[in-house]
């Protein structure tokens, strides 16, 4: 299984080119590549078809970082 970003690098595809070939919105494809959006099964099928693969052959990992915040936030005063 190969990550979507690795596939794009190997095939020399930009986010815009991938969006055009998959017939998806540019911003949505960029968010998928950056790991900020989990694509629907239909979106996965369209993107996988660009590479001649099935959606099961691509690693679709969500890479958004988790930010741990302590306290209630600035609206409640000082946080520890």
Higher pLDDT, 27 or 66: 27
- Residue 70 in contact with residue 80, Cβ under 8 Å? yes
Say what the pTM is. Answer: 0.75
Residue-range domain boundaries for the chain: 2-59
Q: 4 pLDDT band (50/70/90 cuts)?
A: very high
- How far is 64 from 17, CA to CA, in rounded Å? 23
Structure tokens at 79: 């946080």
Its CATH architecture, for the domain 2-59, is Orthogonal Bundle (1.10)
- How far is 56 from 48, CA to CA, in rounded Å? 9
Residue 30's pLDDT is what? Answer: 94
Reported as a single tens digit per residue, the pLDDT across 14-62 is 999 999 999 999 999 999 998 889 899 999 999 999 999 999 999 987 6
């Amino acid at each position: 299984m190969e990550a979507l970003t690795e596939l794009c690098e190997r095939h020399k595809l930009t986010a815009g080119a991938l969006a055009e070939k998959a017939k998806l919105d540019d911003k949505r494809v960029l968010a998928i590549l950056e790991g900020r959006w989990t694509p629907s099964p239909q979106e996965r099928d369209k993107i996988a078809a660009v590479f001649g693969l099935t959606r099961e052959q691509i690693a679709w990992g969500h890479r958004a970082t988790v930010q741990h915040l302590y306290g209630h936030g600035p609206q409640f005063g000082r946080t520890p």
